[in-house]
Structure 1
């Protein structure tokens, strides 16, 4: 059974209207309707809230619905990808600040120049890789 049918069945069994549930989960009634008619899917936070509200397990709601599982995996991967991109940006900013602060030391020592170039190329490559993954 698909998630929409399970959500509607659990809501009806709980004696709640779409409006009641929408208020408790802090979404619109139209959003609830879209979830129950599978025009869109709730995120994992809302699934957990609905599970608790209806008194059913996550397993009961999610098991057997491949589209919903794919949706959750995709949304989780987006969050992970965003974290990696932010990490790459912060790393590059810190690297630039470090190069500016230690410019005198790096400039006078040839081995530091090569290490700085290597770290800079590696860090920039990681940043570009994260940006390309987002596209």
Structure 2
């Protein structure tokens, strides 16, 4: 069974409305609706609070929903996230250094430097995206 259906069933069995649950765990009613309709997934803290509120074990709530388990693993794996970020930073630095070094050996440097500048902007934007996504 999917997490959304489990959350909705547990809420109904506990006699809560979406508004009441949202108020108790400090999120919006729309957030509860999105979780129950699987438009988004709760974070691990919210899952723990919902488990406690509905008096259902985390095991019962989470088992059987592979997408939710992947979401929680991805969002809580700090080491893997840090490794990806460090890799992106190193790749960005190496790319810019290589491109600038290669530009010294080309006769038409102005066009190449423009390309290097554009690639540096793109790689920096990708890096910034990774940093923002991590936060």
TM-score, normalization: structure 2? 0.61
Residue 12 of structure 2 is matched in structure 1 by: 12
Question: Residues 5-44 of structure 1: matches in 2 within 5 Å?
Answer: 5-44=5-44
SS in 1 for 2:52: helix
Runs of 4+ in 1 over 4 A off after TM superposition: 81-86
Q: After the TM superposition, which residues 111-126 of structure 1 pair with which residues of structure 2 at under 5 Å, given as runs?
A: none
1:128 Cα deviation after fit: 2.6
In 2, the alpha carbon distance for the partners of 1:17 and 1:76 equals: 29
Higher Cα radius of gyration: 1
User: Which residue in the other structure is 1:128 paired with?
Assistant: 90
The equivalent of 1:65 in structure 2 is: 65
Distance 1:48 1:83 in 2: 25
RMSD over equivalenced CA pairs, Å: 2.9
Give the distance between the partners of 1:15 and 1:27, measured in 2 at CA. Answer: 18
Kindly provide the CA deviation profile for residues 37-63 of structure 1, in whole angstroms up to 9, marking residues without a partner as x.
000000000000000000000001000
Aligned residues: 97
CA offset at residue 80 of structure 1? 3.3
Could you say which residue in structure 1 is the equivalent of 2:107? none
- Deviation at residue 68 of structure 1 after TM alignment: 0.2
